[in-house]
Amino acid sequence: MECEKREDNNHDKSDMVMGSTAVVDSNGNRSSSSCSISINCNNQLFESDSVPLSDEVQQKQQKQKQQKHATLHPPIILVSTCEEMNPSRRCTFEDCAVYAPAGSWNVPDPNMAFLAVCDGHGGRQMVEYLEDGLIFHVAAELNATDEHESSSSSNNNRQFQDNDTNRILRRLEQAFLMADIHSKTLGIATSGATVAVCLITRSSTNTTTTTATLTATSGSPSSDQEPTNDSTTDTNTTAAPQDSWTIYAANAGDARIVLGHAGTAYRMTKDHRTDDPDEVRRIEQSGGFLFKGRVLGVLAVTRSLGDHCMKEYVIAMPYTKAKTIVKDAMSDVSFVILACDGLWDVMSDQEAVDFVSKYQNSKESVAQELVKEALERGSTDNITVSVAWI
């Protein structure tokens, strides 16, 4: 099942991935082994370095580059990723995983890393666009400057951090919507994808700080019950030791992000499915209906990017959440799991965290082991998993 994704311009887009596994460290170095051919990737539509920047942002980033070697604190040790078509159950592969290490993707914070998983349906067209288009729009939004943001200042540390957290989550919302609109202008009409995005930052401090965490569950451990609101604010004051990490998450659909910290699972996303009463109510109020547990009898998810023929009911507005954790960088074990529903259909959040925790001494293979476990439990879908050790 171990494979490497490779580009081959001689293969047609219909060629499908049989499976892949890769390990990427905090510097972006990728190692993998190969045994089969992957799909042919289209010419890249986007380059993160091409995000249009204002003069003010360019000057700011130039200063950051000069200080980069002195200030960079990579938030991620390594990322283990595995993609599996599950050929006994599926004849196509429509997932993708994306990782950009801190300092590599042209955003104001040099300590911010980007991770995403996308679970496509109706063909690979939308997923192939999102492989480059999603990070492009996230970077563009993070580089944008609101007038009220550039002119406002506060001596209150709590208020500053709250504003920064809210701003990043708003930027993620906007990036999802812009990516969705952009895909329509490119003529992607029937293909769609559920998406989960995670931004991870790291900071070092020896002072007492107050953090504002936007979370519908107020930072409580993960459970089978979903949060009922798209975001709420919970403020906690803690004496921060040397290192703290903030995880910003956004998702549309049932691709999921789970934080494992101190042995406990914290769900960072919300599943948008037809068994959610709030989603059913929204669809019906918009004039839509459910038939056999699917929106208009077609989709089992209620939010996605793409699916423009059903956009009035299957919207792109993501659920967003942020959580800050403090840990001893040398002794505490924390990680973030991003995966499509091929994993979560057969494994609970806490089961996944417990499973990953057993692989502290072989971090590079944990994604592959999670995929193997999902197959043994009878998963019937494509399976894509990324585990970021922080």
Lowest-pLDDT choice from 49-58, 226-235, 257-266: 226-235
Whether 100 and 122 have beta carbons less than 8 Å apart is answered as no
Checking if the pLDDT of 1 tops 80, the result is: no
Q: What is the pLDDT of residue 64?
A: 55
Task: Tell which residue, 165, 243, 240, 245, has the closest CA to residue 201.
Answer: 245
Residues 343 and 302: their CA atoms lie apart, in Å, by 19
Q: What is the pLDDT of residue 61?
A: 60
pLDDT digits (tens, 9 = 90+) for 291-342: 999 999 999 999 999 999 999 999 999 999 999 999 875 667 899 999 999 9
Residues 218 and 209: their CA atoms lie apart, in Å, by 18
For range 131-139, the mean pLDDT: 98
Task: Tell which residue, 284, 281, 308, has the closest CA to residue 296.
Answer: 284
29-47: string of b/e by CB count within 10 Å (b at 16+)? eeebeeebbbbbbeeeebe
Of the CA atoms within 13 Å of residue 244, those in its CB half-sphere come to: 18
**Of residues 62 and 208, which shows the higher confidence score?**
62
Residues 121 and 106: their CA atoms lie apart, in Å, by 30
Residues 172 and 109: their CA atoms lie apart, in Å, by 15
Q: Would you say how long the chain is, in residues?
A: 390
Q: What is the pLDDT of residue 333?
A: 87
Structure-block tokens of residue 283? 């669809």
Q: Which helix (H) or strand (E) holds 197?
A: strand 192-204
pLDDT band at 60 (very low <50, low <70, confident <90, very high): low
Residues 158 and 174: their CA atoms lie apart, in Å, by 24
pLDDT digits (tens, 9 = 90+) for 185-240: 999 999 999 999 999 999 876 544 444 444 333 344 555 444 444 544 444 444 44
Q: 315 to each of 31, 233, 324, how far by Cα in Å?
A: 37, 24, 28
pLDDT band at 102 (very low <50, low <70, confident <90, very high): very high
Checking if the pLDDT of 51 tops 60, the result is: no
Is CATH 3.60.40.10 the classification given to domain 19-389? yes
pLDDT digits (tens, 9 = 90+) for 225-256: 444 445 444 444 444 446 899 999 999 999 99
Structure-block tokens of residue 76? 């991620």
pLDDT digits (tens, 9 = 90+) for 348-360: 999 999 999 999 9
Q: What is the pLDDT of residue 331?
A: 67
Checking if the pLDDT of 263 tops 90, the result is: yes
Residues 103 and 94: their CA atoms lie apart, in Å, by 29
Lowest-pLDDT choice from 56-65, 127-136, 298-307: 56-65
Task: Tell which residue, 348, 99, 72, 318, has the closest CA to residue 221.
Answer: 348
What percent of the chain shows pLDDT beyond 70? 67
Tell me the angle at which helices 157-185 and 125-143 cross, rounded to the nearest 10 degrees.
Answer: 140
Where do the structural domains in the chain lie, given as residue ranges? 19-389
Structure-block tokens of residue 33? 């082994």
Structure-block tokens of residue 297? 């009898």
Considering the entire predicted model, what is its pTM? 0.77
Q: What is the pLDDT of residue 24?
A: 58
Q: What is the pLDDT of residue 328?
A: 72
Q: What is the pLDDT of residue 204?
A: 76
85-104: string of b/e by CB count within 10 Å (b at 16+)? bbeeebeebbbbbbbbbbbe
* DSSP code for 155: S
Checking if the pLDDT of 347 tops 60, the result is: yes
Residue with tokens 């990728």: 30
Task: Tell which residue, 257, 6, 316, 269, has the closest CA to residue 137.
Answer: 316
Q: What is the pLDDT of residue 329?
A: 57
Q: What is the pLDDT of residue 48?
A: 40
Q: What is the pLDDT of residue 163?
A: 74
Q: In the predicted model, what is the mean pLDDT of the chain?
A: 80
